[in-house]
Structure 1
Amino acid sequence: MIPITDVAPVYLGVQEGYFKEEGLELDVQLAQGGAAIVPAVMTGDYQFGYSNVVSLLVAQDKGLPITVVSNGSTSTNEPGSDTTEVAAMPDSGIGNAADLVGKTVAVNALNNFADITIRNSIEQAGGDPTGVKFVEMPYPNMPAALERGDVDAAWTTEPFRTQILQAGGKIVASPMTDMAEKFDSAFYFTSKQTLEKNPELVERFRRALEKSFDFAMKNEDKVRTIIQDYAKVTPELAESIVMSKWYKDVNMDALTKLGTAAKKYDVLKKDPDYDALIAK
């Protein structure tokens, strides 16, 4: 997984004993992004991974045998108050998505989730979606890069989004809410080999996640407490950040819109096979 607030339900599920109830003991390993997590799951180093949706669509496009076992996190559906948005400093001259044309935007992975959703927002705002320059950097480096002026804007997620706002930054685009209502940003997945060899393991993992999601949605205070540990968030910052929503079911309408945009912007070569992507 990546050390962001979106994965809090897993840590809560371990803490509350939901995984133990299913006979599972988790060994959580952290990575920079979904693009790095996919190969580790494919090689069998890990049984499950958490990845943004586009990394999984790209993996399927390349013929990798991945399968989604659960939704991961969902947009708040509130523009300007979403977990993952584009931020800039007040003197950047950027007021909305169209203003990103001709600018340099930090993203955590090139030719991936950020590119597609930002280009979509720019086009919806009447701008040229090809006229933006993306620079790859880890999420934790983005607040300082913005303040130094190394980049004009940053595609950022919590807790780094709130860090930027507290340093005087502002939200200039909400790509997930622009893409679709109740947009799912990430999924939990496994390899088809693991699913075929051990379907009972997958089902137990899925059940534990479902309980964990339900607990997180009902106990926001617990979420804000646990992120202080694994995400290294201060108590003050933990009280301010925007929380994702966690629903077990995948929003197929939103996924289809994302897949269509991914092909349109040349991130995918083929139309996604959604039925093959989502484990039954």
Structure 2
Amino acid sequence: MRFFSLFALFWAVVGYGQAEPVILRVGFFPNLTHSPALAARQLEREGADWHLANLPKGSKIEWRSFNAGPSAMEALLAGAVDLTYVGPSPVINAHVRTKGNELRILAPVARAGNALVVRKGLGLKTPKDFIGRRVATPQLGNTQDIDARVWLRAGGLTIKVNGGDAQVIPAQNAELVLLFSRGDVDAAWTTEPWVTRLTSEFGGEILIEKKDSIITVLASSKTALAKNGKGIEAFVRSHYALRDKLLADQVWHEKLIIAGLGGETRSTPPKATLIGPALGRVIFDAREEDAARKARLTAAFTHALKDSKDSGLLNGDAPIGPLLESLVSDAPAAK
């Protein structure tokens, strides 16, 4: 009996020590503010899967592409993805919608990389100049859509979902570029590489560039974390490691992104003369002390909540604290 007890204890210890394989469904957007996802996807195509090398043997990652944040949040709340790269405004909207009980930020990813681009020669300098004008954004309620509405309303304009002193027109980024190129809109508030395309290919000029604002985070849900918390945490730590390598090797980073965008769009890869400047406008969050990072994110999401309310698209409130209670430490893993 004693032998059997020791034998059972041995296998219990061994069994629990072996990590079970996981299946993670990860959302992302095919733009440069989500370049760690683009890089990981391209490494998969090249047969050097970064994340699976850092997850338990037998694990699988299923990537889901979205045009903008509101769609990604719908998928997260519906259980169609386990975590996603996404902007702050859709996270805040979903956080308030679920009364602070469901959305959780895992890590900051990037800042800047977005701008309001106007067509030259129209004299668009202040919000008042936009009366009667049309401004394109990637999706109703996404971060750039909120930025556009808040900026115009702060300048005294009446902005509604339909109509108002100026029209804010949600359109997918590829369509947004087409509308701008044809003169169907007078300005566009979007992210990279679309900002650089509008300025370098279609004669646009940057009016506002939000260089310090958070543009991308990794987010999950309490439901997903309860089901697969260890796997999700392992992915975030793998993301940190990939981020460090990308930041340390800009040439490798650009190479992966150029090939990655071609792969995502199934078209000719963009030129390095486009991606270099565009990627240079995105600031990727480097390693940061946990307490300082949490304080910075608390301030940023408090501001994002105010912006969403000021945009006229959000009613209600929710505490910011629970949103940040599942942050994954960025401290180096113990060896």
Asked if TM exceeds 0.5, the reply is: yes
The partner residue of 2:136 within 103, 106, 116 is 106
Offset from partner CA, 1:129-180 (integer Å, 9 cap, x none): 6333101111122222112111110112111111111122111222x34xxx
CA contact (8 A) 1:260 1:271 kept: no
| Length, aligned pairs only | 267
Larger relative contact order (C-alpha < 8 A, sep ≥ 6)?
Answer: 1
* 1:12 to partner: Cα distance: 3.3
Greater mean deviation of Cα atoms: 7-16 or 207-216: 7-16
Greater mean deviation of Cα atoms: 185-194 or 112-121: 112-121
Q: Using the alignment, how far apart are the partners of 2:274 and 2:64 within structure 1?
A: 24
Offset from partner CA, 1:199-238 (integer Å, 9 cap, x none): 2112101111111222222222222111212323233322
What residue identity is the alignment partner of 2:30?
P
State the match for 2:109 in structure 1.
72
State the match for 2:69 in structure 1.
34
What residue identity is the alignment partner of 2:111?
T
Q: Using the alignment, how far apart are the partners of 2:67 and 2:284 within structure 1?
A: 21
Greater mean deviation of Cα atoms: 235-244 or 26-35: 235-244
Q: Using the alignment, how far apart are the partners of 1:146 and 1:224 within structure 2?
A: 26
State the match for 1:235 in structure 2.
272
Could you tell me which runs of 5 or more consecutive residues in structure 1 were left unpaired when the two chains were aligned. 76-82
Evaluate the alpha carbon distance shift between residue 221 and residue 127 of structure 1 in structure 2; reply closer, same or farther with a 3 A threshold: farther
SS at 1:94 equivalent: coil
What residue identity is the alignment partner of 1:145?
L
State the match for 2:217 in structure 1.
187
State the match for 2:306 in structure 1.
260
The partner residue of 2:323 within 257, 277, 280 is 277
Identity of aligned residues (%): 19
- Large movers: runs of 4+ above 4 Å: none
SS at 1:28 equivalent: strand
What residue identity is the alignment partner of 1:199?
G
What residue identity is the alignment partner of 1:159?
P
CA contact (8 A) 2:86 2:218 kept: yes
| 1:85-124 equivalences in 2 (<5 Å) | 85-122=115-152
* 1:191 to partner: Cα distance: 2.0
CA contact (8 A) 2:149 2:168 kept: no
State the match for 2:20 in structure 1.
none
What residue identity is the alignment partner of 1:69?
L
The partner residue of 2:182 within 148, 157, 164 is 148
SS at 1:267 equivalent: coil
Could you tell me which runs of 5 or more consecutive residues in structure 2 were left unpaired when the two chains were aligned. 1-27, 160-164, 263-269, 288-292, 328-335
| Alignment pair present for 1:246 and 2:284 | yes
SS at 2:240 equivalent: helix
CA radius of gyration, larger in? 2
SS at 1:135 equivalent: strand
| Alignment pair present for 1:128 and 2:157 | yes
Greater mean deviation of Cα atoms: 201-210 or 109-118: 109-118
| Alignment pair present for 1:21 and 2:54 | yes
Greater mean deviation of Cα atoms: 237-246 or 134-143: 237-246
SS at 1:91 equivalent: coil
